[in-house]
């Protein structure tokens, strides 16, 4: 994939939706808003509190609330009581129901969303929800988990990728998963278009007792990557590259289709 990141878009001012899963007050979303403002008209809809690990959850059992907030100069912004996916649904179907949305960007997430993390990530699920509506979407993540992370190394690359999509669109899909290593900008080697690594979490639970004598459990674990190929997002990040994984929402195992169709499955 030949991405020429220095081309200027030749189009009318686009409309860009910015969202995240770390909450509307997170430092990462402010960085993404500052970039988006340079490229088009911006509307922000983000959770009113951190929603990490929510995946593609939606709110069904209680009403959703939207409140307009004055947090970002010159930008229309709303905080939402629901999940990241709820934010995108409300933006697309309520706030922007009569307007064409040209791009959705989610993040910049505090921490990695490479490999299997895409399944758990509220950041990527928000972008995926917009992509389901036909909107080109990018989920951005930075490999620094600190709430006070310095995102300055991300800005130039995020702007370049957003400009590219606004000019060229996305071929064969509408979703990119972009992870940025925790390095100074001049030490990042470039952008590597790659596949999702075959890696997973080995989960553990810490058991403890609360002051009332009741047991509780806290999820922890370790990340295991046994995929040593050099065309994966984990390899790219470990070797100083930004990883760009073209992603989709079809979870069909196509390799198993023919085999299963030839089986005689008996039922009684």
In DSSP notation, the chain reads ----TTPPP-SSPPEEEEE-SS-TT-HHHHHHHHHHHTTSEEEEEEESS--TT-TT----SS---EEEE--STT-EEEEESS-HHHHHHHIIIIITTTS---EEEEEEEES---TTHHHH-HHHHHHHHHHHTT--EEEEEES---TT---HHHHHHHHHHHHHHHHH--TT-SEEEEEE-SS-GGG---EEE-BPP-EEEEEEEEEEE-TTS-EEEEEEEEEEE----TTBHHHHHHTT-EEEEEE-S----HHHHHHHHT------
Fold of the CATH domain 15-199+230-250? Stationary-phase Survival Protein Sure Homolog; Chain: A, (3.40.1210)
Tell me: is residue 109 an annotated ligand-binding position.
yes
103-140 pLDDT, tens per residue? 999 999 999 999 988 899 999 999 999 999 999 999 99
197-227 pLDDT, tens per residue? 988 888 888 999 999 999 999 888 888 888 8
pLDDT higher than 60, residue 266: no
Tell me: is residue 21 an annotated ligand-binding position.
yes
Tell me: is residue 2 an annotated ligand-binding position.
no
31-78 pLDDT, tens per residue? 999 999 999 999 999 999 988 888 888 989 999 999 999 999 999 999
pLDDT higher than 70, residue 1: no
Enumerate the domain spans of the chain: 15-199+230-250
Tell me: is residue 81 an annotated ligand-binding position.
no
């Amino acid at each position: 994939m030949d991405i020429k990141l220095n081309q200027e878009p030749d189009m009318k001012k686009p409309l860009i939706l910015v969202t995240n899963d770390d909450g509307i007050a997170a430092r990462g979303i402010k960085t993404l808003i500052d970039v988006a403002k340079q490229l088009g008209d911006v509307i922000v809809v983000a959770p009113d509190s951190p929603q990490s690990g929510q995946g593609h959850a939606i709110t069904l059992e209680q009403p959703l609330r939207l409140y307009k907030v004055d947090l970002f100069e010159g930008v229309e912004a709303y905080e939402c009581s629901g999940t990241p996916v709820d934010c995108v649904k409300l933006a697309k179907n309520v706030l922007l129901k009569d307007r064409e949305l040209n791009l959705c960007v989610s993040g910049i997430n505090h921490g990695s969303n490479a490999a299997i993390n895409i399944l758990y990530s509220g950041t990527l699920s928000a972008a995926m929800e917009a992509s389901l509506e036909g909107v080109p979407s990018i989920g951005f993540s930075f490999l620094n988990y600190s709430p006070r992370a310095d995102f300055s190394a991300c800005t130039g690359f995020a702007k370049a990728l957003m400009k590219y999509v606004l000019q060229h669109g996305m071929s064969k899909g509408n979703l990119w998963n972009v992870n940025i290593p925790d390095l100074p900008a001049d030490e990042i080697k470039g952008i590597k278009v790659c596949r999702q690594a075959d890696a997973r979490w080995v989960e553990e639970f810490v058991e403890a007792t609360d002051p009332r004598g009741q047991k509780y459990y806290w999820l922890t674990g370790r990340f295991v990557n046994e995929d040593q190929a050099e065309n994966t997002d984990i390899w790219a990040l470990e070797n100083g590259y930004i990883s760009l994984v073209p992603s989709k929402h079809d979870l069909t195992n196509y390799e198993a289709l023919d085999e299963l169709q030839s089986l005689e499955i008996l039922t009684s």
